[in-house]
């Protein structure tokens, strides 16, 4: 599970500039869905777009989340290929920042 101290807010252009952060709140929001997605679903050809929309929704900052009560309400803002690519890059950046450092990196 990501550490809140390692959470990194990242800006992403969706319908307008939004902020996403992968942290415990995002994991909780994803878990609150009837059919939550895993990180691995982002690699599934069949589920990747829906997973990206849901993870982006789960990671939205409070002020941005107010505009999208459900992942389905965010989906229309994430239909353009450039938006999808930007959202994926932003998610990878915030997710990677939240991971604990590897043993190799922490050893110096």
Q: How much is the pLDDT for 101?
A: 73
Between CA 9 and CA 13 the distance in angstroms is 13
The domain locations on the chain are: 4-102
Q: How much is the pLDDT for 3?
A: 57
The mean pLDDT value for 63-83 works out to 97
Average per-residue pLDDT for the chain: 90
The mean pLDDT value for 83-100 works out to 93
Q: How much is the pLDDT for 2?
A: 56
Q: Closest Cα partner for 78 from 23, 33, 12?
A: 12
SS3 content of the chain, % helix, strand, coil (to 5): 55, 10, 35
Q: How much is the pLDDT for 108?
A: 47
Between CA 63 and CA 24 the distance in angstroms is 17
The mean pLDDT value for 15-37 works out to 96
């Amino acid at each position: 599970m990501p550490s809140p101290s390692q959470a990194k807010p990242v800006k992403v252009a969706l319908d307008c500039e939004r902020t996403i952060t992968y942290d415990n709140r995002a994991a909780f929001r994803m878990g609150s869905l009837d059919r939550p997605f895993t990180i691995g679903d982002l690699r599934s050809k069949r589920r990747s777009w829906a997973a990206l929309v849901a993870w982006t929704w789960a990671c939205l900052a409070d002020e941005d989340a107010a505009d999208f009560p459900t992942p389905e309400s965010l989906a229309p803002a994430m239909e353009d290929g450039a938006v999808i690519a930007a959202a994926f890059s932003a998610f990878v950046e915030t997710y990677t920042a939240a991971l604990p450092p590897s043993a190799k990196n922490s050893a110096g």
